[in-house]
């Protein structure tokens, strides 16, 4: 084969194939570029769908038109009758035996107070002067004393409602269910019957709002 003019012997072409005039294609790079483009499109498409779901589904009402119930809000039926009523259970005065003890120097005070409590339905136990450790040492209107336990605490609350400002004390060493009402230096008479009933109504009234209601969420 003849050598083209001007190439000289240095650039003599041998054989039956002509030299390539462009760079060979790199198939590996082409495949990688194509795959990267497809992956990028897929990611962008998925992100777009997520945004559409967020902004279009957040305010979408339920299919039945009712408001959705929060997952942690139990229905009244599931909560039981006591939770539905929402009231605390207090013992009746007829189930409470009271010892009325006079820690003042005024005579007849324990007897008059015991009679008034009996008219309100309480059962009366001992009526006497307060023991030496309490005699003349009870400040305020009086002191209500009972043993430990939740049941005793309920009885103490019912009795304390009859005496405005009465202090409550639990005696861990006390036996029995009887309660002591120790009349203090400032005592004159029991709280009015209507005021006592109002205090008991408040104690046995609806429970305080739940955390959801305080935060403005209703169930």
pLDDT of residue 10: 54
| Residue bearing tokens 């207090």 | 90
Asked whether 203 and 162 are in contact (CB, 8 A), the reply is no
Distance between CA atoms of 179 and 168, rounded to whole angstroms? 11
Contact (Cβ atoms closer than 8 angstroms) between residue 101 and residue 134: yes
Residue 146 lies in a domain: yes
> Quick check: is 168 in a domain?
yes
pTM: 0.55
**Is 38 among the domain residues?**
no
User: What average pLDDT score do residues 82-99 get?
Assistant: 74
Over the stretch 187-214, which tens digit does the pLDDT of each residue have? 999 999 999 999 999 988 765 443 333 4
In a domain, 207, yes or no: no
Residue 215 domain-assigned (yes or no) = no
What is the phi/psi pair of residue 124, to 5°? -105, 130
CATH number at residue 118: 3.30.70.2390
Residues β-bridged to residue 123: 97
Range of the domain at 118: 93-202
Q: How many domains does the chain have?
A: 1
* 176 falls within a domain: yes
Environment class of residue 164 by beta-carbon count within 10 Å: exposed (0-12), middle (13-18) or buried (19+)? middle
In a domain, 123, yes or no: yes
Of 59, 128, 94, 100, the C-alpha closest to 187 is 100
């Amino acid at each position: 084969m003849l050598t083209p003019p001007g190439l000289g012997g240095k650039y003599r072409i041998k054989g039956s194939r002509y030299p390539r005039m462009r760079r060979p294609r790199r198939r590996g790079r082409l495949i990688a570029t194509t795959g990267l483009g497809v992956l990028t499109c897929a990611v962008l498409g998925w992100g777009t769908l997520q945004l559409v779901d967020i902004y279009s589904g957040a305010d979408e009402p339920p299919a039945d038109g009712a408001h959705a119930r929060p997952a942690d809000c139990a229905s009244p039926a599931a909560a039981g009758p006591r939770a539905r009523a929402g009231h605390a259970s207090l013992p009746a005065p007829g189930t409470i035996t009271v010892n009325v003890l006079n820690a003042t120097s005024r005579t007849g005070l324990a007897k008059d107070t015991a009679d008034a409590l009996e008219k309100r339905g309480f059962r009366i136990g001992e009526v006497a002067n307060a023991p030496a450790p309490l005699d003349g040492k009870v400040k305020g209107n009086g002191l209500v004393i009972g043993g430990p336990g939740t049941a005793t605490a309920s009885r103490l609350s019912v009795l304390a409602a009859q005496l405005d400002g009465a202090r409550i004390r639990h005696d861990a060493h006390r036996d029995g269910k009887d309660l002591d009402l120790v009349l203090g230096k400032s005592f004159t008479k029991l709280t009015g019957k209507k005021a006592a009933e109002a205090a008991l109504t408040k104690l046995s009234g609806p429970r305080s709002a739940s955390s959801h209601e305080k935060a403005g969420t209703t169930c």
